[in-house]
Structure 1
Amino acid sequence: MPVPETLHFAPSHGVPNNPRLPVLYYRTVLIGTPATIESLIQANGWEPRWRNGVYDFHHFHSTAHEALAVAHGTASVMLGGEDGMVLDIGPGDILILPAGTGHKRITASDDFLLIGAYPPGQDYQIERPDAGRPDAALARIAVVPLPDSDPVTGRDGALPALWRAATDKPA
């Protein structure tokens, strides 16, 4: 079973990031057509909702966790806000962003295509950094329920164990 890398980000210039949950980064785990990728994600309990790219401005979602699966093409994306890190992603890569994680496209190939997916019942809002209201975003992030499954590996996958362990730690 594939094991994701874990990435942690502190708040950054109005991007709250998630104070407890790490980003999960699977490299080259799911190569296939967009329909094949969507079918696997859906079979693992997440809802594929769109096909597109990543906005070219820092943004986050405080009301939902998000999985971004690269169907084809390549891109450089910045995670974590201005003080975050740039990742080069390509076909088969999947990023699982806990609520509040900043993300932005730096560059992308002409054929870059992502599939965006969310846990059932979670709806995302596109939010821009707001250094003046971090407590409001953090309050919304705190009540987003943990998913029951990992969009790559299902109920017995890495996400449930890693994220539950992270929420059991003192803040």
Structure 2
Amino acid sequence: MFNDTQHGFDAAQTEYETFMLEPHDWVPNNRKLPVVIYRRVLMPDSGDLATAFEILFESNDWPPQWRDGIFDYHHFHATAHEVLGVCGGSAQVIVGGPGGRVVTISAGDALLLPAGTGHCLQSFARHFQVVAGYPEGQQWDIRREALTPEEQRTMEALPFPPLDPIDGKRGPLIEHWLHAA
């Protein structure tokens, strides 16, 4: 498991919350898997958080694929689960599609979105940036319209990642996602 005291990573200090989302309008969300918000994965003032998140995700088989912000329009990914590590600033993100739940995330936090979960940047402060990782073998897409029944079945059949992107074999993905299967 990743251990990086230089960046303040301590699995014991990380708290998380989970919540389920129902389908909403054209956004399928995920009927089986909860969204997970990890708080204080890394200490915000501990240096290069982007690199630290990239190393953490890579070590747990969620290879990082990009660094940037979150799109300011509603969208979801039907072909991959996604983890976003906040490496700068803070933001309010609408999760679940138009009219969804607004969550606040800050540097050092991470947001785990099961495939189908709508998300959209509502507002941000202080050079907001995230690192995005996806389970080994899954390639993200960008969807802004309803899925066909076949696409919905394909999304729901995506394999469960074997490791939590933050805490390896002991994290909430293992506790909440794999038990939902």
Q: TM-score, normalised by structure 1?
A: 0.91
Matched with 1:11 is 23
Aligned with residue 146 of structure 1, among 160, 165, 174? 160
Aligned with residue 173 of structure 2, among 136, 143, 159? 159
Aligned with residue 57 of structure 1, among 56, 68, 73? 73
Matched with 1:47 is 63
Matched residue SS, 1:74? strand
Q: Matches of 2:75 and 2:154 in 1, distance apart?
A: 15
CA distance 1:87–1:100, change in 2 (3 Å): same
Q: Matches of 1:73 and 1:147 in 2, distance apart?
A: 28
CA distance 1:108–1:137, change in 2 (3 Å): farther
Matched with 1:94 is 110
Gap regions ≥5 residues in structure 2: 1-11
Gap regions ≥5 residues in structure 1: none
The Cα of 1:3 is off from its aligned counterpart by 4.4
Answer whether contact 2:61 2:163 (CA < 8 A) is retained. Answer: yes
Q: Matches of 1:7 and 1:135 in 2, distance apart?
A: 25
Q: Matches of 2:131 and 2:122 in 1, distance apart?
A: 18
Query: Paired residues, what number?
Result: 165
Aligned with residue 118 of structure 1, among 134, 138, 152? 134
Matched with 1:30 is 42
Aligned-pair RMSD on alpha carbons? 1.4
The Cα of 1:110 is off from its aligned counterpart by 4.7
Matched with 2:5 is none
Q: Matches of 2:91 and 2:81 in 1, distance apart?
A: 21
Q: Matches of 1:75 and 1:93 in 2, distance apart?
A: 11
Task: Specify which structure has the bigger relative contact order, considering alpha-carbon pairs within 8 angstroms and separated by 6 or more residues.
Answer: 1
After superposition, give the CA deviation of every residue in 1:77-108 in whole Å (9 maximum; x if it has no partner): 00001231011110111010000000000111
Q: TM-score, normalised by structure 2?
A: 0.86
Matched residue SS, 1:112? strand
Q: Matches of 1:59 and 1:137 in 2, distance apart?
A: 15
